[in-house]
Amino acid sequence: MSTVTDAPTRTRGRRPDDDRPPRRIGLSQRLGTWDVKLSPYLYISPFFVLFAITGLFPLLYTAYVSMHDWDQIMGQGEFVGLEHFRFVLGHSDFWVSLRNTISIFLLSSVPQVLVAITLAALLDSNLRARTFWRMGVLLPYVVAPVAVSLIFSNLFADRFGLVNAALGLIGVEPIRWHSDPLASHVAIATMVNFRWTGYNALIFLAAMQAIPRDLYESAWIDGAGRVRQFFSITVPMLRPTIIFVAITSTIGGLQIFDEPRLFDQYGRGGAGSQWKTLTIYLYELGWTQSNFGRASAVAWLLFLVIVAFGLVNLAVTRRIADTR
């Protein structure tokens, strides 16, 4: 800073015709140095400033809010310590929401990864019209979850729904998708799978294509068939990718909101909270009941759940990929 303010001061102190050429060079050199030194920080600063203000600060401040009475309209009230956590943890809504969130998450992530890997293996064969198939599996990705949810809540309608009609054809009794907890979780997980399976398949496909081909050749020479090759080479080599997909789907999946919110027209996660998720619960506390304190407590608890699941996930995927 001082060097910058130096320059004009000195300019003023000397007679202009004395040393104009050297000073100019000096100044531009100095500016050039500053340009080199400061520019990188300037260029990366937008991310850090924005992350600090809209990411990190809100996340940390959530802890502060969670320890106060805090109304959406009235603002900050008294310090209450862990009272909100006590309330939330003592309320059945929290535990039901946690159960639903985990159930929907498992129903969407596990089958999705399995189907995506299979799909990737199919796409990895020497297909005709390769681009067509690749684009085809990605189509659902551009449909907003909100639209997906509207469509599927109709397909899974209890009365007059296409899924129940189809099940009726093979003699299955109509399933009460909008009142049975597990059935509703299956329906909601189907929406998530609809949108993300093809996307993840392309990620796995790319990883498969990066596997050195001589691995397959030597396996072929050793007499390993395609199925054996898949389990002994492809799956272990996909390990980093599986971990990556598992982690990203954990972070997103446990915060699920759009699909369950629009599964019926009331948006409260079912008359008996059958498909209420933690984020719906958070929204309900914060914006329906205007209780920002309790909503923040739920946010922090959900944060802990995500961290815990992330770690478990990492351990499990490591182990699965290792034992192959």
- The interface with other proteins within residues 204-263 (CB under 8 A) comprises 204-207, 209-210, 213, 216, 240-241, 243-244, 247-248, 251, 255, 257-258, 261-262
- The interface with other proteins within residues 137-156 (CB under 8 A) comprises 137-148, 150-152, 154-155
221: number of Cβ within 10 Å = 8
Torsion of CA 130, 147, 261, 257, to 10 degrees: 40
Per CB under 8 A, does 61 bind other proteins? yes
Supply the minimum distance, in Å, between the C-beta of residue 252 and other proteins: 9
Q: Name the strand (E) or helix (H) holding 9.
A: helix 2-13
Alpha helices in 162-289 (DSSP H): 162-169, 181-209, 213-221, 226-229, 235-237, 239-253, 258-261, 278-283
- The interface with other proteins within residues 19-48 (CB under 8 A) comprises 32, 35-37, 39-41, 43-44, 46-48
**One symbol per residue from 158 to 177: x for binding other proteins (CB under 8 A), - otherwise; what is it?**
--x-x--x------------
CA 250 to each of CA 23, 31, 309: distance values in angstroms, whole numbers, following the listed order: 60, 48, 7
**One symbol per residue from 266 to 295: x for binding other proteins (CB under 8 A), - otherwise; what is it?**
xx-----------x--xx--xx----x--x
Q: Can you tell me which of 187, 198, 233, 242 binds other proteins, judged by CB under 8 A?
A: 198
DSSP 165-183: HHHHHTTPPPP-TTTSHHH
Nearer to other proteins, 79 or 287 (CB): 287
Size of the site for other proteins (CB under 8 A): 102
Q: Can you tell me which of 133, 167, 232, 321 binds other proteins, judged by CB under 8 A?
A: 133
In angstroms, rounded to a whole number, what is the distance separating the alpha carbons of residues 297 and 289? Answer: 14
The tokens describing 31, both together, are: 């500016």
Phi, psi (rounded to 5 degrees) for 71: -95, 145
Q: Can you tell me which of 16, 128, 223, 323 binds other proteins, judged by CB under 8 A?
A: 128
In angstroms, rounded to a whole number, what is the distance separating the alpha carbons of residues 232 and 246? Answer: 20
In angstroms, rounded to a whole number, what is the distance separating the alpha carbons of residues 81 and 295? Answer: 15
Q: Which stretch binds other proteins (CB under 8 A): 4-12, 57-65, 88-96, 269-277?
A: 57-65
- The interface with other proteins within residues 178-197 (CB under 8 A) comprises 194
Q: Can you tell me which of 157, 187, 189, 233 binds other proteins, judged by CB under 8 A?
A: 157
Q: Can you tell me which of 4, 25, 135, 172 binds other proteins, judged by CB under 8 A?
A: 135
In angstroms, rounded to a whole number, what is the distance separating the alpha carbons of residues 28 and 23? Answer: 9
Maximal CA-CA distance, the chain? 102
Phi, psi (rounded to 5 degrees) for 291: -105, 85
Per CB under 8 A, does 104 bind other proteins? no
Supply the minimum distance, in Å, between the C-beta of residue 294 and other proteins: 10
Supply the minimum distance, in Å, between the C-beta of residue 163 and other proteins: 11
Q: How many residues does the chain have?
A: 324
Supply the minimum distance, in Å, between the C-beta of residue 192 and other proteins: 13
Q: Can you tell me which of 2, 5, 9, 265 binds other proteins, judged by CB under 8 A?
A: 265
Per CB under 8 A, does 1 bind other proteins? no
Q: Name the strand (E) or helix (H) holding 78.
A: strand 75-79
